Structure 1
Amino acid sequence: MADVLPDIPDASPNLNGLKIMHLPLLRVVSGALASLLLTGTADAVADDPLRPVPTGKTALVDNPIYKTGELEPQNCPEPPVRHVGSAKGAESYLAAILKCLDKSWTRQFAKAGLHFSTPKLKIVTRSGVDDGCGEFPEGAQAVYCGEDKTIVVLLDKAALDDADSLFLFQVIAHEYGHHVQEYTGISHAFFYWKHPTTKAFRADQRRYELQADCLSGAFIGSVRHSLDRSKEDFAYLRLLGTDSSTHGKAKNQAYWLTRGFQGKGPGACNTFAATSRVS
């Protein structure tokens, strides 16, 4: 795929006066990583697969999910967040978007011939509380817990104040990307790859996180026609990243989000085979 952007405005500091929020970085605790941290062992990647879940390098660079084409278009109108600043309203909003994600990715896994189950959603309102994989980490907006296949979202003041943008939409789509990685064998292959150094691990961790950005973009692009949003709303998402040793440079986060948005499918998101834009 060519290194180009879709027909949305380039990210700019003001976006025609649209207020820009500086929000916490997204983080992930995958099934393999959670098991390593908490128990020293790993759970199975998927139960009773329709075909063998790929392993090792094949899972990372030649995964069958990459060959499934675009996500099938579906209508996913956003329900109104009745009261911006309300955790209850934002939770209902996220639950509705989760149903759309479930429908899209269930179809995609069927095309890949891989077993799939939909994730659960859990809401927390502050860091430090038990989220099912331990304490919800400080500085995170959301985590994916592979142990119990749950997306955990922090609905703090920053997120609730920005609930009328596409921010929460992208948050849950990104964490769903980690759920996709879990069931395709990508998570297991990444976390059990024999990285010779911490530096090498971090390099692949950035590929892992950038892939989740791309998968979120693919979903958003596939339902874009049903969203009552302006180009500026989509462009806003490209401004939310911050440079990170674990998640990559902000410009690369924006690139992979946009690449997925344009490609509308996981085939655009093979960050493990990419030779650039993964730092």
Structure 2
Amino acid sequence: MTKQICNPPGWPSEVPAAETFYNAALPCLASAWQPLLGRAEFEYSQPKILVPSNGNATSPCGTVGPTTTGFYCSSNKTIYLPMGRIHPDWNGVPIVYLSLFSHEFGHHVQTLSGSLQEAWRQRRAAGSDSPAGLEWSRRMELQSECFSGLFIGAVVDSGGPFTESDIGNVLQAWIGDPTHGTNANIDAWFNRGVQNQIALCNTWIASSAEVA
């Protein structure tokens, strides 16, 4: 992924500021991913962004509640970014929000490549909440986290406002769960992405321990 300066203004302190921040970051993600998708002969299309004003939103994929940090719906190719679960420690730390946004954008990339649809098919076939089904969820989520690291690695130390030292803020922000993986694995896949080799983000062939 080519290095670039990405400098969305401020940080998502309230809904208007969040809309400004994410809409300014969107062209950065588009310019980062479009060449990679093009070389793989996938057609790029822009996702929509929605910051629910009351913390709730209804999508074709279900209801997005105020406790959701971020959510991507493949049916309408929309990234939902409610404000309700934003942690106070993130205030004034824009790179954490940029990482959240790039993670959800990673699910859009998975949709454009068809891997998201296949992962959901496999999860449903295994039973969504079965051990095998949850492992499919983690493979999907950890790849998207790796994609987030790929993008963040492309914007740090690029002449813009973000530096490699900011990456520590990202690694401290996320808490693992059975659908997304352990804290250690979330950090590990993010750091793989930062190495800027997209092949390192292939969670589909990783061992079960690597996606626990």
Q: In 1, distance between residues paired with 2:57 and 2:47?
A: 20
Shift in Å, 1:118: 1.4
Pair member with larger Rg = 1
Equivalent residues of 1:90, 1:160 under 8 A apart: no
Is the partner of 2:9 in helix, strand or coil?
Answer: coil
Cα deviation code 1:101-125 (max 9, x no counterpart): 0111111111111122111111114
Q: In 2, distance between residues paired with 1:74 and 1:267?
A: 20
Q: In 2, distance between residues paired with 1:271 and 1:172?
A: 20
Structure 2 residue aligned with 1:118: 46
2:2 is aligned, of 61, 69, 72, to: 72
Alpha carbons of structure 1 residues 265 and 101: separation in structure 2 relative to 1, 3 Å: farther
Q: In 2, distance between residues paired with 1:172 and 1:214?
A: 13
Residue 178 (str. 1) matches residue 107 (str. 2): yes
Shift in Å, 1:138: 4.9
2:143 is aligned, of 211, 217, 222, to: 211
1:130 is aligned, of 49, 53, 58, to: 58
Q: In 2, distance between residues paired with 1:130 and 1:106?
A: 29
Q: In 2, distance between residues paired with 1:261 and 1:158?
A: 24
Equivalent residues of 1:174, 1:215 under 8 A apart: yes
Cα deviation code 1:215-251 (max 9, x no counterpart): 0100111122233234442111111221301000011
> Which of the pair is proportionally richer in helix?
2
Q: In 2, distance between residues paired with 1:229 and 1:116?
A: 26
1:101 is aligned, of 29, 34, 50, to: 29
Residue 248 (str. 1) matches residue 177 (str. 2): no
Q: In 2, distance between residues paired with 1:163 and 1:131?
A: 27
Is the partner of 2:58 in helix, strand or coil?
Answer: coil
Is the partner of 1:243 in helix, strand or coil?
Answer: coil
- Cα root mean square deviation, aligned: 2.2
1:195 is aligned, of 126, 144, 152, to: 126
Equivalent residues of 2:77, 2:108 under 8 A apart: yes
Alpha carbons of structure 1 residues 127 and 173: separation in structure 2 relative to 1, 3 Å: same
Is the partner of 1:121 in helix, strand or coil?
Answer: strand
Cα deviation code 1:73-128 (max 9, x no counterpart): 2222x13317x733212221111111110111111111111122111111114443
Q: In 1, distance between residues paired with 2:81 and 2:170?
A: 17
Is there any run of 5+ residues in structure 2 with no aligned partner, and where? Answer: none
TM-score (norm 2): 0.88
Matched residue pairs, number?
Answer: 206
Cα deviation code 1:240-265 (max 9, x no counterpart): 22130100001110111111012x24
Q: In 1, distance between residues paired with 2:143 and 2:156?
A: 20
Equivalent residues of 1:81, 1:163 under 8 A apart: no
Equivalent residues of 1:210, 1:247 under 8 A apart: yes
- The percent identity for this pair of structures is 29
One-letter code aligned to 1:105 = W
Cα deviation code 1:23-43 (max 9, x no counterpart): xxxxxxxxxxxxxxxxxxxxx
Shift in Å, 1:160: 7.6
**Stretch deviating more after TM superposition (108-117 or 132-141):** 132-141
Q: In 2, distance between residues paired with 1:201 and 1:91?
A: 34
Alpha carbons of structure 1 residues 169 and 257: separation in structure 2 relative to 1, 3 Å: same
TM-score (norm 1): 0.68
Is the partner of 1:158 in helix, strand or coil?
Answer: coil
